[in-house]
Amino acid sequence: MRARSLDDAVGTLKRDIGKDSREIQDFLVKMLRIEAVNPKVGGPGEGERANLLEGFMKDEGFSVTRVDVRDEKSHGALRPNLSAKLEGKDPSRNLWFVTHMDTVPEGSLDLWETDPFEPTIKDGKIIARGAEDNGQSLVASLFALREIRDLDVPLPFNVGVWLVSDEEFGNTCGIKHLLAHGYFRKNDLVIAADAGTAAGTDIEVAEKSLLWFKVTTRGREVHASLPRKGVNAHRIGMKLALDLDESLSGKYQYSDPLFDEPLSTFEPTKKEANVSNVNTIPGEDAFYFDCRLLPRYSLDELLADVQSKIDEYRERYGVSTSMEVVEKEPAGPATPEDSEIAVLLARAIRLVSNVRPRFIGIGGQTVGNLFRRDGIPTAVWSKVDDVAHEPNEYALVENLLNDTKVFAALPFFANSFHLADQTPR
């Protein structure tokens, strides 16, 4: 049915999604029953889940683009990526809702109150692995696309969804592949629906640079009763880790209030096992750091500082000390708060949810950073309780329906888009 105005469209979509609430909820439960743990950590991957989603989109009359990427790190498994879209007046531009199909493993089953792969509905929550990350927003974007089609309001540009693989472990077979092969355009608008807050007010427009590094110290292993014969790699490694912690935090002190954690952070995290018994002095020791650097700083400068400190310890203690970069993801440019995608999303949230949105930066990284690095302004948003990767992960049914309404409302504001008077205040 063709809605006559913007207000008419928004009112109609709210009623429609309310009437479809049980169908939307049931579909999320059905999808979560299909395990989609990333194969890079031993899971079955996204294949069966993708088949369900592709079938749903085709049954709804959408033409589906499927991009299967061979994953050499997962024994050659094919990693699926799915897309469907509605045609708009300007076919050269697309508004994309981007979500991911894969999940992390369930973790310790002892910490789950229910089967993580048999969704349970309790107290308005759908409890299952992947319910919040990223099942809620994925299903919301699908049903929002259906609602946009049914409202039959003229669209200024194409509106569609991308349901991607491999988000949880590097994006190599998902967003990175799609960007490299031209499936997104520089003038596209992107909503990465994969982070948020319980209030549903925070629109993420900036992310920090990420660096994970490993430092290995090699000394001389001896019996613990004869320490003068050896070189305790563990003791030197501990000193080095603490020295790095203090020196990096002392140098990179700029604070940016846009970010939820306004400072750059340098956290010693993982520690590898050295010796298996108490009475042996370790001859080798390894620790890791997780660094989240504000965009004003250079990752290369940070790496140079770490290497300088490592060289200092090598000379001081006469040990072999080395660094390995485990992960390095520089931050892309922030999405301007007055950009088209940021303003359109803010208007939709404000009207549908009756809350005043605000723009933030985060220390975690989403696929939004990959789009920004590729020159595509991107906003990251959903309304979630932030329980991703936790035991007893859940999605609130209320949030599932709210996201569906916001996503469905968003493209209609573009018909009368005026940047100056639509910026949230």
Q: Which residue has the tokens 């590898």?
A: 272
Q: Residue 70: count other Cβ atoms within 10 Å of its Cβ.
A: 10
pTM here is 0.89
Q: 94, 81 in Cβ contact below 8 A?
A: no
Q: 85 - beta bridge partners?
A: 160
Say which CATH topology domain 209-329 has: Alpha-Beta Plaits (3.30.70)
Q: Could you report the per-residue pLDDT of 83-140, keeping only the tens digit for each? A: 999 999 999 999 999 999 999 999 999 999 999 999 999 999 999 999 999 999 999 9
Q: 407, 95 in Cβ contact below 8 A?
A: no
With a cut of 90, say whether residue 271 has pLDDT above it: yes
Tell me the Ramachandran region of residue 288: left when phi exceeds 0, alpha when psi lies from -120 to 50, beta otherwise: beta
3-state helix, strand, coil in the chain (%, to 5): 40, 25, 35
Q: 52, 28 in Cβ contact below 8 A?
A: no
With a cut of 80, say whether residue 6 has pLDDT above it: no
CATH number of 6-207+333-422: 3.40.630.10
Q: Could you report the per-residue pLDDT of 368-407, keeping only the tens digit for each? A: 999 999 999 999 999 999 999 999 999 999 999 999 999 9
DSSP state of 11: H
Rounded to whole angstroms, the Cα distance separating 93 from 76 reads 34
Work out the pLDDT band at 8, boundaries 50, 70, 90: confident
Which residues fall within 8 angstroms of residue 156, CB to CB, at 6 or more apart?
88, 89, 90, 93, 411, 414, 415, 417
Q: Could you report the per-residue pLDDT of 337-352, keeping only the tens digit for each? A: 999 999 999 999 999 9
Active-site amino acid positions: 102, 167
Domains in the chain: boundaries: 6-207+333-422, 209-329
Q: 329 - beta bridge partners?
A: 210
Rounded to whole angstroms, the Cα distance separating 210 from 166 reads 18
CA 410 to chain CA mean position, Å:
21
Cis peptide before 134 (omega within 30 of 0): yes
